[in-house]
Chain A
Amino acid sequence: NAGVTQTPKFQVLKTGQSMTLQCAQDMNHNSMYWYRQDPGMGLRLIYYSASEGTTDKGEVPNGYNVSRLNKREFSLRLESAAPSQTSVYFCASSEWGANYGYTFGSGTRLTVV
């Protein structure tokens, strides 16, 4: 019973490099999310996908792109990494609707130098 699986767990990038964070869920959830968590800032929504085939911007989308590959997978891409993108990234999934809480992945700790 894996839940939400994120890879990689840790990554160090140089400024300007690109990378893709992978996320997969096995709970048959319709909705998936990418958050970043920074000290003193809390969790902030980057992008979300309410259902397969749709994606929408969240609170802090600049510098990121996403792909909802299928119902299970939702990836986050940094095209040209910047030090301001140093953060812990969490993927989450849920059913769509106000009464459903999230299940989070274990997170990716990204450092951009």
Chain B
Amino acid sequence: QKEVEQNSGPLSVPEGAIASLNCTYSDRGSQSFFWYRQYSGKSPELIMSIYSNGDKEDGRFTAQLNKASQYVSLLIRDSQPSDSATYLCAVTYTGNQFYFGTGTSLTVIP
């Protein structure tokens, strides 16, 4: 069973703070890792992808991958109320069948 685990939250941070979202996965054969953002009542939207160990930055978002620890994280700097959403971690093992975590709900408090 390929598992992707996330804390469901809710995670609350004040506006301007750093939000840290975490994800662990069970299969060491995992190849690629993605973060999706999902606003309430909307569809998931791809925001970050990472394939190798280390950090990848895109604007206010940084994805971090540690394959030895089977751990991937997403940092959101200078958090804004518009970042309030559920963040889904997704992992792919072969081809591009994704396995999704259940998501972490983030609330940014003005």
Which residues on the A side are within 8 Å of B44 (C-beta)? 43, 90, 102, 104
Which residues on the A side are within 8 Å of B90 (C-beta)? 101
Residues B96 and A103 in contact, CB atoms below 8 Å apart? no
- With A40-B102, A101-B49 known as contacts, the answer to whether A58 contacts B97 (CB < 8 A) is yes
Please count how many residues in chain B sit with their CB below 8 Å of the partner chain's CB atoms.
Answer: 25
A20 to B94 CA separation, bound complex (whole angstroms): 29
A101 CB contact (under 8 Å) in B42, B46, B97: B46
Chain B residue at minimal CB-CB distance from A38: B102
A102 to B98 CA separation, bound complex (whole angstroms): 9
Chain A residue at minimal CB-CB distance from B31: A98
- With A40-B102, A41-B102 known as contacts, the answer to whether A102 contacts B97 (CB < 8 A) is no
Which residues on the A side are within 8 Å of B45 (C-beta)? 104
Residues A42 and B92 in contact, CB atoms below 8 Å apart? no
Interface centre among B36, B42, B43, B95 (most CB of A within 10 A): B43
Please count how many residues in chain A sit with their CB below 8 Å of the partner chain's CB atoms.
Answer: 25
- With A41-B102, A42-B88, A42-B102 known as contacts, the answer to whether A97 contacts B96 (CB < 8 A) is yes
- With A43-B88, A98-B92, A99-B49 known as contacts, the answer to whether A48 contacts B102 (CB < 8 A) is no
A72 CB to nearest B CB, Å: 18
Residues A99 and B51 in contact, CB atoms below 8 Å apart? yes
A42 CB contact (under 8 Å) in B42, B51, B101: B101
Pairs A–B under 8 Å by Cβ, sample size 10: A40-B102, A41-B102, A42-B4, A45-B98, A94-B96, A98-B96, A101-B49, A102-B44, A106-B42, A107-B42
Q: What would 8 more interface pairs be, CB under 8 Å, given A58-B97, A99-B32, A101-B34? A: A41-B102, A42-B100, A96-B95, A101-B36, A102-B44, A102-B46, A102-B96, A107-B43
Q: Which of A's residues lie within 8 Å of B, judged by CB?
A: 31, 40-45, 48, 50, 58, 90, 94-107
* The 4 residue pairs across chains A and B that have the minimum distance between CB atoms: A104-B43, A42-B102, A101-B46, A43-B100
